[in-house]
Structures are given as structure tokens and as C-alpha cells.
Amino acid sequence: MEFTHFNHKGKARMVEVGHKADTERVAVARGSIKMAPETLKMIREGQMKKGDVLGVAQIGGIMACKRTSELIPMCHNIFLTGADIDFEIDEANSCVKIEAQVKTVGKTGVEMEALTAVSVAALTIYDMCKAVDKDMIIENIRLVRKSGGKSGEYRRKGEN
């Protein structure tokens, strides 16, 4: 194993992917945002003054994954063939669970796009709810699976 984003002088570089074959690639990332039970209730019941929190967060996450290469310095600009975000309100843990699935057919994967989608969706929820709950915690953002490319299938242990 070696880091690929450094040249022979140890300086940052964008990895050359022109020689790679185009393959179907999928990445799934997850994370969550914990909050006060009252805040979660307001989201669930549509009582936030800024509007439909999860609807806006879904659009924000999808918009962000399309712009990942503008945010992460060494990411390639990727043509995405699909992006979706799902939310689960978890009353027991007083949080919103977030899952993003991103797809492409190309020479490089979409892991960073999926992670960016989850991150911005969580940040959007925070932004829309911060007037009533500044103690929210964004946590556990992680890649749970990916497929395609030379390295093939990856699945995080303990995740379905």
C-alpha cells in the first residue's frame, strides 16, 4: 500500500487515471446528526421556520456531491450518473441518520462524492436547526461500501 496523491518528490499531485478502464462505480456513505429530542420532533413534524429540513438537506447533499472536485483539492471532476440521499429519524438515539449513494461510469470512484453528500446534508440540517439547537453533533461519517474499478468491492465490517 502506498499513498497515490504524491509525486516522486513527495509533493501533492492529481493521480493520472487516463489508462484505467471505464467501469460502473458505486459508493455508499453514512453519518448522523444528534440533537435534542425537541429538535428532532420539530423536524419530524415540519415545524422549523426555515421549512422542510430533510427536503432541503437532500438537495444540498446532492448539489454538494456534484461539486466535490471543487472542494477536495485532488479529486477528479466526475460525471455522475446518479445520486440519492436517504434519511432515517432515530428517536431512540435522538438523531437523523443519513445515507448517500452515488454512481458513475468512469475511470475513478465516487467515494469522496458520497462522503461529501453526507457531510453537506448534515451541515444543512445543522444550519436549518441551529436557531433552536446549537448543541447538535455531526458524527460518524464513513464509507460503508463501494464497488467498481481495479480494487473491486469494499464493504465496511459490521455494516449492511
Catalytic residues, by residue number, are: 127
- Ramachandran assignment for 51, one of left (phi > 0), alpha (psi -120 to 50 degrees), beta (any other): left
Output the CA angle 38-41-42, nearest 5 degrees: 90
Distance CA 121, CA 27 (A): 16
Q: Which residue has the cell 440521499?
A: 85
Grid cell, residue 13, equals 499531485
